[in-house]
Every structure is written in structure tokens, then in C-alpha cells.
Amino acid sequence: MTLADWVGQVEQQLVDAELFFGHGTDSAFDEAVWLVMSAAGIDPSVEPVDWQRVLSDTQQSAVKQLADRRIETSKPLAYLLKQAWFAGHEFYIDERAIIPRSHLGEWIPGRFEPWLGRTPVKTVLDLCTGSGCIAVAIALAFPEAVIDAADISTAALEVAAINIEQHALGRRIRLLQGDLFHAIAEAGRYDLIICNPPYVSDQSMVSLPPEHCFEPRLALAGGRDGLDFVHRVLTEAGRNLKETGRLFVEVGNAAGVEKIWPSVPFTWLTALTGESAVLTLTAAELDRYGEHFAWPER
């Protein structure tokens, strides 16, 4: 059987097993390609890929074993391989941190153009850093910046430390442990604040696919409507930004944000999926509309 044959076979096995795809891939085919090439030790970055190459007995055995583990356990492939990709960069990952997949990765390589314009970015805060993937991607996209990466989970920060070391960014990224802005000692120092907070609603938490059960609940659960942490960030971010600073927050419930805070002129970044996935506000807007961020009756 050729490489193409194995990809087709594994794709069908994944479909038949009714697995969930969303931890680094969006379809059974994409996951089959990743699984087969990883198990066979084939570098997907080498162009062109020889899809007609015949896999050795050792490679075939490795593919079978990995496919069986994925199907029998429902564990996300990223955790099985301890590998994830974000914003074009490779990262280490294990169950101590959520698997990288933030929509923010669509805009980091382009330095959030056009929203940042010519605003210099020297200091960045990455809240809920998890595996550190956003902090690392920011550091690589903004080589002139230093980054504080904060998370409440010491276990997740251990994973972030691995990724910072692998990308040789220890001199530019500082890890901080604490609950959102409680990890920050000095207010008003950041040009840019980025946050991908937990935003899964209580109702959605009970119906998540099995793959999500391997991820830290702490990194997913966002309260009644998934906006508990978004609310806290909107309330507290302004005092931690410089006057010319800007905030970017990923949310899972854009309609809920607009409904709860209708008087706030949020700017929405539209993801490749068509979702209004990320909101942005300037420091001036956060100051001007600060009083509107109190919880209304819900």
C-alpha cells in the first residue's frame, strides 16, 4: 500500500469511528494525513510529497498502532504526538495545557494589521497563555517586543516553559502565575494585551465531544454564558494598557457580547470560518465605555 492508500484507509477508519476533529485539524482527511505521515516519519514540509511511495513494514505497523490508539481512546492526535502547530510554528503539547487552536493565530503573523497601524509594540501581555503558543508567536512576529505570559495554572506554565525554551525566547518572554490581572504587578505598562480566555458556556460544557475531556477543564469553562472571563478582562484591561494601547480578546459568543453590552462599539475581526471570533478595543475606548461593562441583569 502506498502513502496515499494509507491516508485513505485511515481517513475512513476515523469517519467510521465518529471522532471529533478540531484540535489541530478540521476534517478526517486532514487528520489522516497528519497521523499517517507522523507515524511513518515522513516530513510533510518536504516538497513535493511522494504519495505513491510504498510504506515499509515498520512504517505500516506504526501507522496501525497510532490509528488504533486514536480510535480506541478518542484522545486528540496532538496529545498522542505531543505536537501542535499554531500561527505557522511547531509547539510541544501535553494534557497539562489546552491544545493550541486560537483564532488569534490568523492575525499574529501579520502583526494585527490594519488595527495596530504604526503603533509601536514594545510590551505585550498574553493572558491565559496556556501552552505559551500565543506568547511565542507574538515574540516571533514582534521581534522588538518583550512579553509577559500569565496563567493561573502552574501545570500549563510548565508546558509554556518548554515551548519558550525550544524557541530560544527565554530572554524576551517572562512567565507569570496568577488569576488574570492578579499576576501583574505594575499597571499601565502594555502596548498590547492579548487574551484567549476560557469561554465555553455551562450548557456547552456538558455536551462537549469526548476529545475535550482530555483537556484541562480550567482552560475551557467560561461560566453561565461563557463570558465570565471576557467580562473580567474588559473591566480590568484598560488600567493595564498604555494610552495608545489596544486589547484583543477571543470570544465564543459574539452575539452574547453584543446583547449584554449593546452600547459598546466593539470592532470584530472575522475569522476564515466567517465567525466574529475576536474583538478589539483601544485603551481610549475601554476608558470611555468602562462604566458600561458592569453586569446587567441576566
pLDDT of residue 246: 96
pLDDT of residue 131: 98
Where exactly are the structural domains of the chain? 3-81, 96-293
The answer to whether domain 3-81 and domain 96-293 are alike in fold is no
Give the integer Cα–Cα distance in Å for 78 and 231. Answer: 30
Contact 137, 105 (CB under 8 A): yes
Cis peptide leading into residue 198 (ω within 30°): no
pLDDT of residue 207: 94
Number of H helices, E strands in the chain: 10, 9
What are 249's strand-pairing partners?
195, 279
Domain 3-81 coded CATH 3.30.1360: no
pLDDT of residue 253: 86
pLDDT per residue of the chain (298 residues) written in tens, 0 to 9? 999 999 999 999 999 999 999 999 999 999 999 999 999 999 877 778 889 999 999 999 999 999 999 999 999 999 999 999 999 999 999 999 999 999 999 999 999 999 998 888 999 999 999 999 999 999 999 999 999 999 999 999 999 999 999 999 999 999 999 999 999 877 668 999 999 999 999 999 999 999 999 999 999 999 999 999 999 999 999 999 999 999 999 998 899 999 999 999 999 999 888 888 999 999 999 999 988 888 776 5
The domain defined by 96-293 folds into Rossmann fold (3.40.50)
Cα distance between the two ends of the chain:
59
The torsion angles phi and psi of 58, rounded to 5 degrees, stand at -65, -45
> Which 3 state secondary structure label does DSSP give 207?
coil
pLDDT of residue 262: 92
Q: Measured on CA atoms in the order 72, 76, 77, 79, is the torsion positive or negative?
A: negative
Exposure string (b/e) for 127-156, b if CB count within 10 Å is 16 or more? bbbbbbbbbbbbbbbbeebebbbbbbbeeb
